[in-house]
Structure 1
Amino acid sequence: MNLAIKKIPLYMIAIILLVFTGFPFLYMISTSLKSRTEFFEQPYSLFSSFTLENFKSVFEMGLSRYFLNSILVSVVAVFAVMLIAALASYPLSRMKFKFNRVVFLLFIAGMMLPIHATLIPVFKLSQSMGMYDTIWALLGPYIAFSLPISIFILTQFMQEIPVSLEEAAKIDGCNHFGIFWRVILPMLTPALMTVLIYNFIHLWNEFIFALVLISSPENMTLPLGLQDFKGEFSVNIPGLMAALTLASLPILVIYIFSQEKVVKGLAGGAVKE
């Protein structure tokens, strides 16, 4: 009984946090279902009406194209990051060579590099390579800036995998690639899901590189394309909320179906051999 009473403050804090985090999302959905007239008449009412005209209008304005561009560049970049980070993390965590620690620290130092310091070099590089104003120009910086945190997560997770599993695989005749493919990689699933979710959310919402490297409407990603809902003198708030609601769906779906693996990945390393 005393334990239940002591938990009441924790429950209250959890409820307050739920309200603060959940209300903006509910307000966004509610506003997306209002007409512009009703929004100005009742801006703070929740679910007072139901219309899908805003969703229809955002697709007419080219939202589907922005969606496809964001999905393409985010998916390609995330899977490239997962592959490169996994291959780089294995020797950093399991093999001992002269500059092992130095190489790892250089990767980690990449997390401290401000994105804005690289905008001009990346812009000039994309122009010289003939990739400016293409969605492929985003892949380089997206992959480069996602690798440090991904390598850090996977390296720390790999260090907690029992060495005895590798030794048993060596006895069975596996080389380093066989050990990585058959032993390490299957056990990396929780950490890889963490890397996938973290990077997908970041890249799905990325704006600054898209703003610098993309200028044509047909090549814009979703965050950049949302500017279309902002006019010179006014903003179509219900239309913008409808676009934001649709933009949130991929992230919500991915997290709902993989949250268990994400939690395991973040908690990786709690049990040591």
Structure 2
Amino acid sequence: MSADTDLRPAPEKTAPPSPPRAARRPFRLPRANYPAGVGAFVWLLIVLVPLYILVVSTLQTRQEYLENGALSLPSSISFDSYRQVLEGDFPRYLLNTLVVTAACAALVLVLAVSVSYSIVRTRSRLSQRAFQLFLLGLAIPSQAVIIPIYLIITELQLYDTLLAVILPTAAFSLPVSVLILVGTMRDISEELYESMALDGAKSVRMLFQLVIPMSRSGISTAGVFSALSAWNGFLFPLILTQSPENRVLTLGLSDYVGEFRVDIPALLAAVVLSIVPIFTAYLFARRQLINGLMGVGGK
């Protein structure tokens, strides 16, 4: 064996020392915030008590409501109020309101999408002036211009028609919708426009294949806003319509209020039935509506 050969055993490799473990903190329950809990409970009562009165009152007869009051539970559930509403003129009022709401929402979306796309992509001085003009519409209340609107509708021979309600309602919903959609479309990356332009896409193709799909949340927000404005509108139907055939829900509720009596169960039943369609539409568009209001655009 050579003298250069080292017969000593190789030293064992030791693992590096592990870092010291942090001392575990004892688990503690979060400190109770009693004032916040009391405030939340009070706010819950403020919200739930009107809803309770609204629903329970519709399940009582008019005589039972007058004897027991609004806060009492019904001795027996009665759907006479709903039957009375549905057998009256409520279906016709509901149909007129659906027509006005759908027409306003469609008209606003068609105009707002095209105008917003033009403002975002043109970037000229004229388009910026047009955008400022739309923003100016936010500062004009409908009550201030109701007399000129009445004169215009009368000159166009549209008085006492549903179109007389649709046109001004859509006009006053358009500025907010343009503001929402301009902010949404500005969030779309410029590289996406450039890539489509390299593929030979024109402006119309970019609008339908890029802008509209990526602006779904903003479009849903504008659609829900315009639909709510039309559904809850009262001033324009009151001033611009007269016959019962063109009456909408907000005016039809006055059928249950007489000169010497008020049928409160039937009135509240009509209110409940008028809430159901617009609440259903909100359930389907709530995610896009929240995203649009948060300003995240179509991303």
How many angstroms apart in 2 are the aligned matches of 1:234 and 1:147? 40
TM-score (norm 2): 0.85
**Partner secondary structure for residue 241 of structure 1:** helix
Q: Which one is further off, 16-25 or 31-40?
A: 16-25
Choose from 52, 58, 65 the match for 1:39.
65
In structure 2, the partner of 1:157 is 184
> How many aligned residue pairs are there?
272
In structure 2, relative to structure 1, the CA distance for the partners of 1:16 and 1:102 (3 Å cut) is farther
8 Å CA contact 2:181, 2:218 repeated in 1: yes
TM-score, length-normalised on structure 1?
A: 0.92
How many angstroms does 1:17 deviate by? 3.5
Name the SS of the counterpart of 1:99 in structure 2: helix
| Residue 88 of structure 1, CA deviation | 0.3
Contact 2:217/2:298 (<8 A) preserved: no
Equivalent in 229, 236, 259 of residue 286 of structure 2: 259
- Over aligned residues, Cα RMSD in angstroms? 2.1
What are the equivalent positions in structure 2 for 1:37-76 lying under 5 Å apart?
37-45=63-71, 47-48=73-74, 49-76=76-103
**Aligned CA distance change for structure 1 residues 22 and 45 (closer, same or farther; 3 Å):** closer
Q: Which has the higher contact order (CA 8 A, sep 6+)?
A: 1
Counterpart AA for 2:222 = V
Counterparts of 1:235 and 1:93, CA distance in 2: 53
| Letter in structure 1 aligned against 2:79 | L
**Are residue 198 (structure 1) and residue 222 (structure 2) matched?**
no
Given that 1:138 and 1:213 are in contact with CA atoms closer than 8 Å, whether structure 2 keeps it comes out as: yes
Name the CA shift for 1:222/1:39 in 2 (closer, same or farther; >3 Å). same
1:1-273 counterparts in 2 under 5 A?
Answer: 4-5=30-31, 13-45=39-71, 47-48=73-74, 49-269=76-296
1:41 partner amino acid: E
SS at match of 1:102: helix
How big is the shift at 1:46?
5.1
Larger radius of gyration: 2
Higher alpha-carbon deviation: 36-45 or 216-225 = 36-45
Identity of aligned residues (%): 31
Q: 1:271 to 1:210 in 2, by over 3 A?
A: closer
One-letter identity of the residue aligned with 1:143: A
Q: Distance in 1 between matches of 2:187 and 2:29?
A: 34
Further displaced range: 260-269 or 1-10: 1-10
Deviation at 1:47, TM superposition (A): 4.3
Amino acid at match of 1:189: R
3-state secondary structure, aligned to 1:76: helix
Contact preservation (8 Å) 1:33, 1:47: no
1 CA distance for matches of 2:248 and 2:120? 36
Relative distance call for 1:130 and 1:258 in structure 2 (3 A) is: same
